[in-house]
Amino acid sequence: MPAAGRVLLRSVTMWLLLQSLLLLASCLRSAAAFPKGCYPSEEEGLKTFRCSHARLTEVPRDIPNDTNKLYLDSNRIPFLPRDAFRDLPLLLELDLSHNAIASVESGAFRGLAEHLHSLDLSSNRLVSVSKDAFSNLKAKVNLSNNPWLCDCRLQELIRAVDLAAGSSGGIVCDSSAQEEHVGKAFLQVIADTDFCNVYKKTTDIAMLVTMFGWFAMVISYLVYYVRQNQEDARRHLEYLKSLPSKQRRSEESSTISTVV
């Protein structure tokens, strides 16, 4: 082989080796950026990021921002902070089931309203969540198998979200102001009980009782004030009667003017 050919072959070989090393380094760097147990893949043409059973205690950072499906199920995540998923504008499915989530801050799902169509929060530790946490979210939401407190707040939440098909029966009252509701499906309970209307009536009664209390205090003070002044005036008139007549008439006029 001519010398020029050997040089060209060696150059091509070195170039291919260099490219392979750069590609390997890139892959290793990307893998190192992900939490242990997390990895990207492609499923049915959708970019997927899986972190199932990864012992996570928070929503991981550095999730690829072109992710379509995100699996964070079966971890130890205790709460969802504001803007937890704001860098994932193309997210379609989000699985947060089987965690320890007990709190969802308002704005936790901000940025997902346009594309997200499936949100799984089943089998967590949710007791009470504001409807504002799901503001403008159009996704089908699974809220089953959580220790819910059945009250007006939960009623407002259920009316604000679009429940995933077949999940409504799993929203069960773990606690309630009325003992007979415990253990029953929430949708079954609100068929006969309007928690928000009961709350409104209770609030109205409390306001009436408070207003009556203040009114009674004002009346009592006025009665006390009048009686006290009458008693003072009576004692002063008796004192005036014991004075000489000229001085008495002068002070009586003064007393009457003061009382009037």
For the chain, the domains span 32-193, 194-232
Nearest to 98 by CA among 125, 69, 123: 123
- Give residue 4's pLDDT: 52
Segment 144-165 shows an average pLDDT of 96
CA 95/CA 142 separation, integer angstroms: 10
Of the pLDDT bands very low, low, confident and very high (cuts 50, 70, 90), residue 143 is: very high
The predicted-structure confidence for 164-196, as pLDDT tens digits, reads as follows 999 999 999 999 989 999 999 999 999 889 999
- Give residue 138's pLDDT: 92
Q: Where are the beta strands (DSSP E) in 134-192?
A: 140-142, 148-150, 162-163, 173-176
Q: What is the mean pLDDT of the chain?
A: 80
Q: Is 30's pLDDT higher than 80?
A: no
- Give residue 210's pLDDT: 55
Q: Are strands 39-43 and 46-50 parallel, antiparallel or unpaired?
A: antiparallel
Q: Is 243's pLDDT higher than 70?
A: no
- Give the Å distances, CA to CA, from 227 to 34, 177, 224, 231, 233: 81, 47, 5, 6, 10
Of the pLDDT bands very low, low, confident and very high (cuts 50, 70, 90), residue 87 is: very high
CA 68/CA 52 separation, integer angstroms: 16
- The winner for highest mean pLDDT among 29-43, 107-121, 215-229 is 107-121
CA 212/CA 205 separation, integer angstroms: 10
Segment 42-70 shows an average pLDDT of 95
Residue located via tokens 């550095």: 62
Best CATH choice for the domain 32-193 from the list 1.25.40.10, 3.40.190.10, 3.30.70.1140, 3.80.10.10: 3.80.10.10
- Give residue 25's pLDDT: 41
0.75 exceeded by pTM: no
Type of residue numbered 131: K
Q: Is 258's pLDDT higher than 60?
A: no
Helices then strands, counting H and E runs in the chain, come out as 5, 11
Between 60 and 198, whose confidence is greater?
Answer: 60
Residue 164 DSSP class: P
